[in-house]
Amino acid sequence: MGRGRRSVLAVAVTVVCAVTVLGASGTAFASAGPDRAPTQPATTSPALPSSSPSPSSPSVTAPPDKDLEAVRTKLDQLYHDAAVATDAYNAAEEKAQQQSAEVVGLSQKIVEQQRKLDDLKDRAGAAARAQYRTGGLPPQAQLLLSNDPQQFLDGAGRVLEGERATSGLLQDMTHAQQDLQQYASDAADRLQDLEANRKAKATAQKRIQQRIKEAEQLQARLEERQRERLAQLERQAAQQAQAAWLDTGILKEIGGSATEADKKAVAYATAQIGKPYEWGAEGPKTYDCSGLTSQAWAAAGHPVPRTSQEQWKQLKHVSVKDMRPGDLIIYFGDASHVAMYVGDGRIVHAPRPGRTVTLAGAGTMPILGVVRPDAD
């Protein structure tokens, strides 16, 4: 095997190994969206309510709601930041999968092209050896030395055909070599892109974990009765937001009928109710917000982009009053959360870490817009 062949095959082997290593980095997880409108993250954690007297004391007082509201706001900020980072992680993961497939395809082309080039070289060598056996004499000398002019003319015709074939082989070899070099170059570029996405995934993963850890630490500092009151405040805020949305009369305007695909997507999504949220997850045991909606529509036969931001960018937009069950509602100005509308002013979604897939009011979060996966 020649040095050129060894080097190209080495490239192919390196490509496959690199894909294996890069593709294995990162863990499959899932995204989540916040339950309230995001605000600019605070630079410091809010002060927690002061320790209260022991439950046995008659002077026990509930912690001020304003302090718990500050905690709730901070938690929303942290989970929103985690949701944005999750979308970045999911996007990098999706691109990395595509690039891995491209690199593997290119490595296969490199091997195939090297085999083609080797075959062409063998054929060209055979042609050269055949010409050598004729002695390499010019046609005039061969005519003078021939006892049979017709035999010479027949041979001369075959020589011309051989020369044309050899010329064609050389051209094919040149093109094959150029294609081989291009495949190797493309594979190297894809590997660089793959490495960049690996780093983007790692950065996003670190940010997600940091924000979730901060949120968990903040909640852990609360006493049990404070956590109960915090949960109550969260429910009240959601109810108030839903009531305000319904008070606009929007539900009277919404009357779109679900298609068969819509019904399949809704059936899939609602069947996941109760399963835990996990950032980066696409089921079947855990989901993030866009993992749930993308899998629901894949089950309905209409694949959609993996992330909420890409769902917002790529799918057809419809007005809120025209939405129907199965449509996806995108939330917050940065499209960091997505849910599926199921009718009667309700959604099914995977809220955030620590929560499960659940039904909620469609107006409990700020609506950016509505998209329709089966618009075509």
- Which residue, among 272, 305, 337, has the nearest Cα to 82 in the 3D structure? 337
Is the separation of the CB atoms in 339 and 242 below 8 Å?
A: no
Is the separation of the CB atoms in 309 and 90 below 8 Å?
A: no
Is the separation of the CB atoms in 286 and 278 below 8 Å?
A: yes
Catalytic residue among 175, 302, 317, 349: 349
- The per-type count for the chain, helices as H runs and strands as E runs, is 9, 6
C-alpha to C-alpha distances, 8 to 75, 101, 107, nearest whole angstrom = 54, 19, 10
Is 17 annotated as catalytic? no
Other Cβ atoms closer than 10 A to 309: 20
209: helix, strand or coil: helix
**Angstrom distance (rounded) from CA 180 to CA 142:** 41
Is 349 annotated as catalytic? yes
Catalytic residue among 17, 80, 175, 289: 289
Q: For residue 38, give the DSSP letter.
A: -
Q: Which helix (H) or strand (E) holds 328?
A: strand 328-331
**Angstrom distance (rounded) from CA 187 to CA 65:** 59
Positions marked active-site: 289, 337, 349
